[in-house]
A and B are shown apart, each in its own frame.
Chain A
């Protein structure tokens, strides 16, 4: 007797599910652009203005470069400081939010609620608030980046923690180790590489973000970006953008390299 090969159900044969999902997504896309009043036509008809801008930026004023080196340096410092502070605070919160480490549903729920709240605050709003509190300058930028990184990194961190192998924790528990020692010996080595990798990733994002934050007066290169744009000095704008691009690329390169070495 030969065993029967089952018939392929028609649902699979005609790819009903993928086609259905695609149609639904396209439908949603059209509906949402209608509702929010996005005018795709206007985007294309105004492309001319954009090319005009590009032409005016095509002659970078290189003599402006020495002026922006210092603020560029400040931007990098802001990003590193903000990311480090945010990530440092994220570690204990991530541990408390991880369902495989904290079995108390209430504690976990409260911690996650706090994290969700922090993530909901837009970084631009934060920057505006802290510029109002600390005045124009990099302090406001660092605090904003720290809070922004904290929200982002803590979620990434606790998701990493939730994927670890629980075996070593069991072993350390059976040895008679206390909670803190268990985390240090059995959890940390398993997550350290991914933590560093996410830290670097957040740092990249923060270097970019801090240029925008500077726009609100939160220090760094963004202040100069805003000034040049206000003065319609597009050749200076071009220098700022190109210099920032170089910095972002260098940091990308370094962090990509470190991540490859680590993982």
Chain B
């Protein structure tokens, strides 16, 4: 039996250098395999929360554990190994636009190689095959040799997901992955994330603005306001009225 959570926050605080409170006394656990959606107004601290998990942001106090290991002391190589098992999806896709889809996807694998091999693109045949498979999982294999900037927004986001799959991630963090997409592509991307969660058992944490989407996909919803958790319920118990609390101003 696996009872330990994959991620756990204990008394986590984050204060930016300019004094802005990013996160305030965050305490909660994320069980392995959960599809967690974080909601909140703009500036509530959703991106900050997500980025503390892969140490793209440092916390000011408290402790974050991933697979029961405190992550704050990781440096250099151990930090890179932590990041390797955590995929990240961005609102702006963050592909290298001038590079091919294949190169963008393979970039997700570089942390498995020594630097010189990455630089010379000496990827193993198995990994090249894996890149094709990753693209197949997001139904974009035919775009393997296209340049990233030839793709639509939704396609670019799927390439970004394929890049993340190359990491063999245990966790995927998605920061408003659909904010610049239309409703139809939104559904495609969210469905892919849900499938990765269910088929591969990847723990998925998604920041969303849309409460309707959160209710459609989440196992559990956490609401943030001004850096604090003001709401935390499994999907069965989520009610519209409760969620409105998250969006109260003041």
Measured CA separation A189–B95 after assembly (Å): 11
A176 touching B90 by the CB < 8 A rule? no
Minimum CB distance partner of B107 in chain A: A185
Query: How many residue pairs between the two chains, A and B, have CB atoms under 8 Å in the bound complex?
Result: 79
B80 touching A176 by the CB < 8 A rule? yes
B44 proximity list for chain A (CB < 8 A):
none
Query: Which of the 9-residue segments A23-31, A35-43, A166-174, A211-219 touches chain B?
Result: A166-174
Measured CA separation A175–B107 after assembly (Å): 8
Which chain A residues in 170-217 approach chain B with CB under 8 Å?
170-178, 180-181, 184-186, 189-190, 192-193
Bits for B76-105, please: 1 = Cβ < 8 Å to A, else 0.
Answer: 000111111011101011111111000100
Measured CA separation A181–B80 after assembly (Å): 12
B118 touching A185 by the CB < 8 A rule? yes
* Total A residues in contact with B, Cβ cutoff 8 Å: 21
B118 proximity list for chain A (CB < 8 A):
177, 181, 184-185
A177 touching B99 by the CB < 8 A rule? no
Query: Which of the 9-residue segments B108-116, B134-142, B197-205 touches chain A?
Result: B108-116
A176 touching B115 by the CB < 8 A rule? no
Measured CA separation A171–B80 after assembly (Å): 13
Q: A168-B95, A170-B56, A171-B160 are in contact. Are A181 and B83 (CB under 8 A)?
A: no
B115 touching A170 by the CB < 8 A rule? no
B163 touching A177 by the CB < 8 A rule? no
Which chain A residues in 135-185 approach chain B with CB under 8 Å?
165, 167-168, 170-178, 180-181, 184-185
Measured CA separation A174–B56 after assembly (Å): 7
Tell me, rounded to whole Å, the shortest Cβ–Cβ distance linking B57 to chain A: 11
A184 proximity list for chain B (CB < 8 A):
118-119
Minimum CB distance partner of A174 in chain B: B88
Measured CA separation A227–B163 after assembly (Å): 63
A189 proximity list for chain B (CB < 8 A):
96, 98-99, 103
Q: A185-B107, A185-B110 are in contact. Are A176 and B83 (CB under 8 A)?
A: yes
Minimum CB distance partner of B93 in chain A: A167
A173 proximity list for chain B (CB < 8 A):
56, 83
Measured CA separation A176–B167 after assembly (Å): 9
A172 proximity list for chain B (CB < 8 A):
107, 110
Interface of A is mostly: helix
Measured CA separation A175–B111 after assembly (Å): 7
B99 proximity list for chain A (CB < 8 A):
185, 189
Q: Does B8 contact A (CB under 8 A)?
A: no
A175 touching B110 by the CB < 8 A rule? yes
Measured CA separation A178–B115 after assembly (Å): 8
B119 touching A175 by the CB < 8 A rule? no
Q: Does B54 contact A (CB under 8 A)?
A: yes
Tell me, rounded to whole Å, the shortest Cβ–Cβ distance linking B29 to chain A: 23
Measured CA separation A170–B95 after assembly (Å): 10
Tell me, rounded to whole Å, the shortest Cβ–Cβ distance linking A226 to chain B: 46
B81 proximity list for chain A (CB < 8 A):
176
Q: A184-B118, A185-B110 are in contact. Are A177 and B56 (CB under 8 A)?
A: no
Tell me, rounded to whole Å, the shortest Cβ–Cβ distance linking B113 to chain A: 9
A171 proximity list for chain B (CB < 8 A):
88, 90, 94-95, 107, 160, 163
B110 touching A177 by the CB < 8 A rule? yes
Measured CA separation A184–B84 after assembly (Å): 18
B90 touching A175 by the CB < 8 A rule? no
Give 23 A-B contacts (CB < 8 Å), ordered by A residue: A165-B97, A167-B94, A170-B90, A170-B94, A171-B88, A171-B94, A174-B88, A175-B88, A175-B108, A175-B111, A176-B80, A177-B80, A177-B107, A178-B80, A180-B119, A181-B110, A181-B118, A185-B96, A185-B110, A186-B107, A189-B96, A190-B98, A192-B98
A-side interface residues toward B, CB under 8 Å?
Answer: 165, 167-168, 170-178, 180-181, 184-186, 189-190, 192-193
Q: Identify the 6 closest CB pairs spanning chains A and B, nearest first.
A: A176-B111, A167-B94, A176-B84, A176-B83, A171-B94, A174-B88
Using A171-B160, A185-B107 as known contacts, list a sample of 4 further A-B pairs with CB atoms less than 8 Å apart, ordered by residue number in A: A174-B83, A174-B87, A176-B79, A176-B80
